[in-house]
Amino acid sequence: MAKVYDPSFAETMAKVCEINSDVGLSRFEIADEEGIFRLLHYSPVTEEKHRPPIVIVYAFINRPYILDLRPDISVVDKYLRAGFDVYMLDWGYPSAVDKYLTLDDYFDFLDKSVENIKRLKGVSRITAHGYCLGGTLTAAYSAIRPHNIKNLVLQAAPIDFSTDNPLTVWARGLNPDAIVDAYNNAPGQLLNTAFLLVDPVNLIVSKYGAFLEMLDLDGETNGFLCMDRWIFDSPAIPGETYRQYIKEWYQQNKLVKGEFKALGETADLSKIDCPLLLLIATYDHIAPPASITVLLDKVSSKEKETFEMAKGHIGITTSMSSHKDFWPKVVRWIEKHSEKLGHVPSHGNGKKVAILR
């Protein structure tokens, strides 16, 4: 007769419940706040060595701490340890009162944040790092405000929405009006289910089978739980924002056609003329390589490079292998295209004065 209760399994699961799965551990202060939007300023871990500051713009789907999941796989930490001043936009958790927020509200807070950082740091431009739809947002912003961008790093950021990957095909067939009219905001659970159903065998069944095999490996179990916590931490999207980006990006493909408008201006991608780095995941089911590389022929940048890794949309950020070679390479690229700060003793008062090299 089969066992109904396995005490060893119960003990193992009790041990799992005790594992610390805290995420987003890098210290920060809130530099600015407007409604649900926040500008986070990370605390330095070494002296500032490079300028301008890096501003990270994540998508309004899921949470930005995926870039700071654990200390050993933290993009934020890598930037900080390299001596960059790091900021991040946090789009918060929209509620019913936020249903009328549009993409312009996101662009407006991004623009306001960049101007504040320029003023606070005494710089004329920033390095922008956009990830996923945050990268789409950042690309459009860089086309509208090219004078604000020193370097542009776009990670797994769809630009051309005419690709045939399942998620994009599904989004092109959606009726966003019906969803918004029914729910006011697009529920996070609905969006998360859509992502999981893109590859249900691997993202649901196989994943938890693999988890059972790693239960005796504390480090691996911790990583799994941190990742799972992020996956299911899914904020809603304001109804009008959802209606707009599904229609104008996925269904009408306005950005790549040069028809998308924000902040009262048309986002002409040819206006982007700064050094450009595209970070591509070979097996990305959300932003396949073809949806990103189209940008290379649209911009006016003289310096443009592509770094590609054989990972998926999230694995490019959270895998140990990517943090061994890929992200150090990204850091070196940004260093190369930034101003190096040096320190020399001044005469008279004994203080050190920062100089640019």
Tokens of 216: 């005796």
Residues in CB range of 37: below 8 A, 6 or more apart: 89, 90, 91, 92, 105, 106, 109
The SS3 of residue 212 is helix
Residue 332: what residue type?
R
Listed by start position, the domains of the chain span: 12-356
Query: What sign does the dihedral 288-246-160-325 (CA atoms) show?
Result: negative
Radius of gyration of the chain (CA): 21
Least confident interval from 46-60, 81-95, 178-192 = 178-192
pLDDT tens readout for residues 256-271: 999 999 999 999 999 9
Taking each helix axis from N to C terminus, what angle separates 103-121 and 133-144, rounded to the nearest 10 degrees? 70
Tell me: the pLDDT tens digits for 293-329? 999 999 999 999 999 999 988 889 988 899 999 999 9
Beta strands 54-57 and 352-356 are unpaired
- Closest residue by Cα to residue 145 from 73, 27, 57, 226: 57
Q: What is residue 198's predicted lDDT score, i.e. its pLDDT?
A: 66
Tens-digit pLDDT profile for residues 106-130 = 999 999 999 999 999 999 999 999 9
DSSP string, 34-55: ETTEEEEEEPPSS---EES-EE
- Please tell me whether residue 329 adopts helix, strand or coil conformation: helix
- Tens of pLDDT, residues 13-32: 444 455 455 666 899 999 99
What CATH architecture applies to the domain 12-356? 3-Layer(aba) Sandwich (3.40)
Q: Give strand pairing partners of 126.
A: 149
- CA angle 62–68–74, rounded 5-degree value: 135
Active site members: 132, 284, 313
3-state secondary structure of 193: helix
| 220 — pLDDT class (breaks 50, 70, 90) | low
Contact 111, 57 (CB under 8 A): no
User: Quick one: pLDDT band at residue 205, thresholds 50, 70, 90?
Assistant: very low
Given a contact cutoff of 8 angstroms between Cβ atoms, the answer to whether 299 and 149 are in contact is: no
Q: 310 is written with which tokens?
A: 């054989």
| Residue-level pLDDT at 68 | 93
DSSP bridge partners of 345: 352
- The enclosing H or E element of 220 equals helix 218-231
Handedness of CA 68, 69, 70, 73 (dihedral sign): negative
Residue 347 is encoded by which pair of tokens? 């005469």
Which of helix, strand or coil describes residue 59? coil
Q: What is the residue type of 32?
A: D
- The span from the first CA to the last CA of the chain, in angstroms, equals 76
